[in-house]
Structure formats: C-alpha cells, structure tokens
Amino acid sequence: MADKNNLSYEAKDIQVLEGLEAVRRRPGMYVGGTDIRALHHLVYEVVDNSIDEALAGFCDSIDVIIHPDSSVTVTDNGRGIPVDIHPERGKSALELVMTVLHAGGKFGDGSYKVSGGLHGVGLSAVNALSEWFEVEVKRDGKVYHQRYERGKPVKELDVIGKAPKTETGTRQTFKFDETIFVGDFDYKYSTLMQRFREMAFVTKGVNIYLNDERADREMTFYFEGGISSFVRYLNRNRKTLHPVVHIEKEVDDITVDVAFQYTDAYAESIYAFANTINTIDGGTHLTGLRSAITRTINDYAKKQKLLKDEDPNFKGDDTREGLTAIVSIKHPDPQFESQTKVKLMNAEVQSITTQVVNDAFGMFLEQDSRAGKTIVEKCLTSARARRAARKARDLVIRKSALESLTLPGKLADCSERDPQKTELYIVEGDSAGGSAKQGRDRHFQAILPLRGKILNTERARLNKILNNNEVKALISALGTGIGEGFNLEGLRYGRIIIMTDADVDGSHIRTLLLTFFFRYMQPLIESGHLYIAQPPLYRINYRKKSQYAYTEEEKDAVLKEMGVTDSKVTLSRYKGLGEMNPIQLWDTTMNPEERTLLQVSIEDATEADRTFDMLMGAAVPPRRRFIQTHAREVRNLDI
Ligand code: 0RA
C-alpha cells in the first residue's frame, strides 16, 4: 500500500477534493443528517472549536451572531487558527484545517489537552456543507482572510490589515448550503440558547454571547461558579434540601467535575457532559456517578442505623428521586459511541468518577449530618412509594388488559378495522369532542374526548394518573397495554393525534399526554405513531373571501396577500376548538388533504417529560409564564 505521506501535492489535492465531496454526498456520516438538528450541528461544530481554545486556557469570549440571511458568525479571542505554511503541503495550516478531514485541532505539539470537536473533522465538514465560508484570523499583528465556496478556497490566504500584536482571535462566518439542507427550517434561537447556556455552565469563566439579528434578541452567558451555578439554576423553582455539593478532581489527566443537590420534587434531572458536549445518552461518566451516589447513601444509611441491617438496600431509583446533578468530565481522548457524540464510552472514566464521588460525597455526609439525615429520609420515602406504586401499577396493567376487551363508552369508533388506515383523535373537552364527532370522516377517524381538568392532579406522581378514568379509557382504546406489557401489535389506530386548544390549559394537557406516552408507551412515539393536530389561530374574512392562518406570521402574510386596505376585514381569533363548527374543524384540522400534523419525536417527548415536573410543581408564577411562552411553539415537520 502506498504511504499516504509520500503522495505528490497534486494527489493530495485530489484527495482533499474527494474528501469534501464525500461529506457533501453523505452529510449523515459527518453531521448526522440534513434536517434541522444537523443544521444546528454546524453551529455547534464551529463553536466547539472556540470552546476548545477556551478549555486550553487561551480564550474567554465567544460571540455568535445569526444574521438575517441565516448566515452565522462565530468570533473568539483565542490564539487564532495558525496560518503558517505546512512544509510538505505548501498550504497554510488554516487551509488544511478548513479542507482536510481529520486535520483540526490535532496538529502542533499536543498543546490541545481536550477537544470536543468531532475528532477533528469539524471545520472542514462544516465548510463542505456551506454555500460559502469566510475566515478571518488575527495573529502576529496581522489580519488574514480567506473565503471558501462549497468547501473550496476561492483565493489564496490574504493579509487584509493590521492589528495590535496582543490582539488575536478567529472570526468565522458561514452560510449553510440550501441545496443540502433542503426544507422549510432555520436556526431556532431557543435551541442554540439552550446549548450555549450549557456550554457556559460547564466552561467556567467563558463569556458566550448570542445575538439573533433576525428578531433583534440577544443573550449573554457567563458563569463564574461553573456547574454549581448550573445546579442552582435548574433548581431555581424547586425547594432544595441542602447546599449544593460540588466535587472537582483530576485523576490521570481526566478532570471530574460533579455538582448535585436534592430537592423535594419527584423527578430526577441529571445531565452529563464530556468536554462540554451534552452527552444525552449518558455513558460511563453517568454510570459512575449513579453507582457512587447509590453506594454512598446505602453505606451511610447502614452505618448511621437509618437503614436497619434487615432492610433491603436502596435501589438506584430511590436515591435519585428529586436529585438534580451535573457530571462534567474533561478527557484528553474522549471516545463517543457515534459521530453525533451523545454517549461517552471510555471505560476508565466510570471507575474514576465512582471513586472521586464516593470519597467526596461520603465525607460530605459525615460532615453535614443534617443534610445526611434529610437525604436518607427522602430515599426512604421514595422506596416506600416505589413499592406502593409498583403494586398499584401492576393492578392497573392487569385490569387494563381485561378492560381493553371492552371499549370505553366515550369512544366514537370508526368503521374501518385496518390500523394502517385509521386515526384516533384525542380531543380536549366535551364540546370540542362533539364538534370533532360530527365533523370527522367516521369511516377511518375515531374520537376520544378527554375532560382536561380531571388530568390536572397537581403534584401527582404520574403513576396516579393511571388510575384516572380518562386515562384508562385511553389505554383501552389504543389496545397496546402499557409499560413492560406494551405491545405495538395491539395498536388499533395508525395515527394517534392529540388535539388540544391553543391556550394555556391546552398546552398543559398536551404536556401531560406527551409525558404519559413518553413514560408508558415510548415505542409508540419511536415508531412515529404519535401526532399533534394544528388548529388554526385565525379566520380572516375580507370581501367575500375567507382564509385561515395557523401562525401570527401567516396571518400577516394573508392580510397582505388579500390586499387588505380598508376596515372591512374581520379577524376572528380562535381561542378554543369549541369555537369552530364541525365543518370548520374538518376543513382546517382534520381533513388529511388540508391539515398539518406535527409528528412527535422522542426529543419533543423528552422535553415534555422534563417540563412535566415543572408544570406540576408548587411554584405557580414560573409555571404560568412557561406555558404561555411555549403554547404555540411547535415545530413544523414535513410529513
Ligand atoms: C491549533 C493550534 C492553535 C490554535 C488553534 C488550533 C485554534 C483553532 C481555532 C478554531 C476556532 N478558534 C480557534 N482558535 C485557535 C495555536 C497555535 C499556536 O499559536 O501555538
């Protein structure tokens, strides 16, 4: 086999072009697809590189600007990407980073201790997927500039100006390639905001500024306290049981940073990061943390005789109820399960994390016996509740297996029996249920009305809602059973469609239902059977013409399109489904030819699940605010 390093310059150039072409042909391999998630991934890749520079200790400020044309600028005050000419290649280091796969971050003398980037494919992959990409580097008193189009440099690296020698940094601006990211989507401010907030939390002392010029909004993230601030932030609406426990230790070049605090809530909120990347599927750092917490509490409870010798040990679930925790590790060579970096695989991280947390948490409990006692009591309550809930749930599952033979009385079933062709509308409220029953095509559409308020069992463990008649009716209508007994083959309808009002209560009920499906019927979501209906927000009548609008923007567009000039326009805003008559409901929301359905993804459901505990929490003001700002924030999906 030919030694790659001995190839001629020309051959290497061809390799580069082939590399970029491969990225464009198979974006999935590099950024995980061509959907809105992958689009955000481009920004993360670029920002990750600046974060690396910050982790290496050379940068403390990162600015991200989303421009009105959806190009994005990322500016940092690091050392600047090196621009010196590579002796063999005859090209600048910058150009190599921008065009050669696997060329990022790794050159130099290993001064890069930790790297979150996609093992270096980062910048060149983003470059290949951008219509254009401009880089400006400030180094050695000069300002360098180069422009690329679809990955290829369109001119040599130029010096375009001077700068004080002490001023260094990198500015990158790119526009994603619309021939690759095809679809009606754009960067979502809240998604980027969430990511940068997390990055700032786990990269102590870095200032991350986000500016969305499309809508004139901006936000700065800076956390001196690192992940303890993160925990305090997550617990801001919860009642906490003790001060935040913060542990930071370096073992064998791996830094383990852990912060946690128990609250009186029921939910477990644990977030795991590896080199600032949110590893949503967890991995060895998370496993290490969990086992240390369970073990330390069991040891302490036995030693203090809070748990008697004959008592069973606490299970993991018992020790995590109400726990808010962050584990953030920095590793010189992180191994991820996939290119999208959602699960950390390094085996050694598990034992190191367990050891570090065991020692420090054990010591904390010894020193703060009041906190120790409170935490153990919390675990005892959880263990008791878990046993009781298990009994109740088994009963419900057994009963619902029987009840599923008899369909609920409130269900208006359809005549078609082939689940490939049928749909079930879950409708909030009896009056909307009535309209839906009259408006539907009874051949293939079934309606199950739910009375909203009944679901609203404040501060309830979700188990409780299984005992609720409305939910029981839902379970038997679906025919799949729930939890461990779930069987997709029993599903009686191909599409399960949640149809709620576009108001506060409607979004509350939607969150509840999503959380229910997420916790008890996850395969239903994974297999793409769950949808959210989208009723219109407005009906616009003008000069004998009538049109519907589903968003504020659409309303404005329709008004413009209709050429509204006088006051003869009537604008009715629908507050609830009940305000539409059956024919209107069919036309706008139920007719497969006209309607828009949002398919629920696992991410949507996860978010609902996280939101659920906040909605059910005691703190009322933040709850209201949350629902109101999110009520219409639904993502468009092309189905
Ligand atoms: C490698 C070496 C050096 C800096 C960088 C990479 C670097 C990369 C990026 C990407 C975005 N911002 C960045 N800032 C720095 C340092 C080489 C040296 O000066 O010794």
Please tell me the distance from the alpha carbon of residue 326 to that of residue 276, in angstroms, as a whole number: 11
Q: Which of 331, 160, 33, 88 is nearest to 103 (CA)?
A: 88
Running DSSP on this structure, what letter comes out for residue 399? Answer: H
With a 6 A CB cut-off, is 142 part of the ligand 1 pocket? no
With a 6 A CB cut-off, is 115 part of the ligand 1 pocket? no
Q: Which distant-in-sequence residues (6+ apart) come within 8 Å of 135 by Cβ?
A: 81, 94, 98, 144, 145, 146, 147, 148, 170, 171, 172
The whole-number pLDDT of residue 225 equals: 79
With a 6 A CB cut-off, is 340 part of the ligand 1 pocket? no
Percent of the chain with pLDDT over 70: 86
With a 6 A CB cut-off, is 613 part of the ligand 1 pocket? no
Find the 80 Cα to ligand 1 centroid distance in Å. Answer: 5
Instruction: Retrieve residue 584's tokens.
Output: 């209107």
| Domains of the chain, earliest start first | 21-221 (3.30.565.10), 227-384 (3.30.230.10), 404-535+598-633 (3.40.50.670)
Please tell me the distance from the alpha carbon of residue 327 to that of residue 290, in angstroms, as a whole number: 10
Is the per-residue pLDDT at 472 higher than 60?
Answer: yes
The whole-number pLDDT of residue 397 equals: 61
Region 2-31 average pLDDT: 76
Is the per-residue pLDDT at 295 higher than 90?
Answer: yes
Residue closest by Cα to atom 17 of ligand 1? 82
Q: pLDDT tens-digit profile of 588-627?
A: 999 999 898 989 888 777 777 766 665 554 333 443 343 3
Please tell me the distance from the alpha carbon of residue 31 to that of residue 33, in angstroms, as a whole number: 6
The whole-number pLDDT of residue 369 equals: 95
Find the 352 Cα to ligand 1 centroid distance in Å. Answer: 30
- Surface-to-core class of residue 145, CB atoms within 10 Å of its CB (0-12 exposed, 13-18 middle, 19+ buried): middle
Find the 528 Cα to ligand 1 centroid distance in Å. Answer: 43
Kindly report the backbone phi and psi dihedral angles of residue 211, in degrees, each rounded to the nearest multiple of 5, phi listed first: -130, 125
Please tell me the distance from the alpha carbon of residue 177 to that of residue 179, in angstroms, as a whole number: 5
Mutate to test the pocket of ligand 1, among 46, 50, 51, 53 (most ligand atoms within 8 A of CB): 53
Return the ligand 1 atom nearest residue 78 CA. 14
The whole-number pLDDT of residue 551 equals: 85
Is the per-residue pLDDT at 119 higher than 70?
Answer: no
Find the 107 Cα to ligand 1 centroid distance in Å. Answer: 9
Find the 82 Cα to ligand 1 centroid distance in Å. Answer: 6
Please tell me the distance from the alpha carbon of residue 610 to that of residue 595, in angstroms, as a whole number: 29
With a 6 A CB cut-off, is 108 part of the ligand 1 pocket? yes
Return the ligand 1 atom nearest residue 107 CA. 1
Instruction: Retrieve residue 339's tokens.
Output: 């290119």
Q: Which of 229, 220, 235, 295 is nearest to 60 (CA)?
A: 220
Region 457-464 average pLDDT: 52
Find the 93 Cα to ligand 1 centroid distance in Å. Answer: 10
Find the 152 Cα to ligand 1 centroid distance in Å. Answer: 21
With a 6 A CB cut-off, is 77 part of the ligand 1 pocket? no
With a 6 A CB cut-off, is 53 part of the ligand 1 pocket? yes
CB 465 within 8 A of CB 538: no
Is the per-residue pLDDT at 109 higher than 50?
Answer: no
Please tell me the distance from the alpha carbon of residue 548 to that of residue 158, in angstroms, as a whole number: 54
The whole-number pLDDT of residue 111 equals: 36
With a 6 A CB cut-off, is 48 part of the ligand 1 pocket? no
CB 333 within 8 A of CB 278: no
With a 6 A CB cut-off, is 136 part of the ligand 1 pocket? no
Radius of gyration of the chain (CA): 28
Q: Which of 120, 134, 125, 101 is nearest to 180 (CA)?
A: 125
Residue 628's pLDDT band (boundaries 50, 70, 90)? very low
Work out the angle between the directed axes of helices 347-367 and 284-303 (0-180°, nearest 10): 30
Is the per-residue pLDDT at 560 higher than 80?
Answer: yes
Region 217-228 average pLDDT: 89
The whole-number pLDDT of residue 505 equals: 77
Q: Coil, helix or strand for 139?
A: strand
The whole-number pLDDT of residue 5 equals: 52
Instruction: Retrieve residue 496's tokens.
Output: 């399960």
Please tell me the distance from the alpha carbon of residue 488 to that of residue 530, in angstroms, as a whole number: 12
The whole-number pLDDT of residue 258 equals: 97
With a 6 A CB cut-off, is 76 part of the ligand 1 pocket? yes
Return the ligand 1 atom nearest residue 108 CA. 2
Tell me whether strands 495-499 and 423-428 are parallel, antiparallel or unpaired. Answer: parallel
Torsion of CA 398, 399, 404, 410, to 10 degrees: -150
Output the DSSP codes for 263-307: BSSS--EEEEEETTEE-TT-BHHHHHHHHHHHHHHHHHHHHTTSS
Please tell me the distance from the alpha carbon of residue 358 to that of residue 291, in angstroms, as a whole number: 9
With a 6 A CB cut-off, is 168 part of the ligand 1 pocket? no
Please tell me the distance from the alpha carbon of residue 251 to that of residue 355, in angstroms, as a whole number: 10
Q: Coil, helix or strand for 446?
A: strand
Residue closest by Cα to atom 7 of ligand 1? 81
Please tell me the distance from the alpha carbon of residue 176 to that of residue 318, in angstroms, as a whole number: 46
Instruction: Retrieve residue 351's tokens.
Output: 């034992």
Mean pLDDT score of the chain, rounded to an integer? 85
The whole-number pLDDT of residue 399 equals: 60
Q: What share of the chain is helix, strand, coil (3-state, %, to 5)?
A: 40, 20, 35
Mutate to test the pocket of ligand 1, among 79, 109, 137, 144 (most ligand atoms within 8 A of CB): 79
Question: What is the SS3 assignment for 485-527?
Answer: HCCHHHCCCCEEEEECCCCHHHHHHHHHHHHHHHHHCHHHHHC
Region 113-120 average pLDDT: 41
Supply the residues annotated as catalytic: 428, 501, 503, 505
Is the per-residue pLDDT at 143 higher than 80?
Answer: yes
The whole-number pLDDT of residue 589 equals: 94
Instruction: Retrieve residue 340's tokens.
Output: 């999208």
Residue closest by Cα to atom 9 of ligand 1? 81
With a 6 A CB cut-off, is 78 part of the ligand 1 pocket? yes
Is the per-residue pLDDT at 227 higher than 70?
Answer: yes
Find the 214 Cα to ligand 1 centroid distance in Å. Answer: 30
Find the 151 Cα to ligand 1 centroid distance in Å. Answer: 20
Q: pLDDT tens-digit profile of 347-379?
A: 999 999 999 999 999 999 999 999 999 999 999
Which of 159-163, 216-220, 546-550 holds the top average pLDDT? 159-163
Please tell me the distance from the alpha carbon of residue 290 to that of residue 272, in angstroms, as a whole number: 11
Residue 405's pLDDT band (boundaries 50, 70, 90)? low
With a 6 A CB cut-off, is 43 part of the ligand 1 pocket? no
Q: Which of 587, 549, 635 is nearest to 435 (CA)?
A: 587
Q: pLDDT tens-digit profile of 64-91?
A: 999 999 999 999 999 999 999 988 888 9
Beta bridge partners of 64: 74, 210
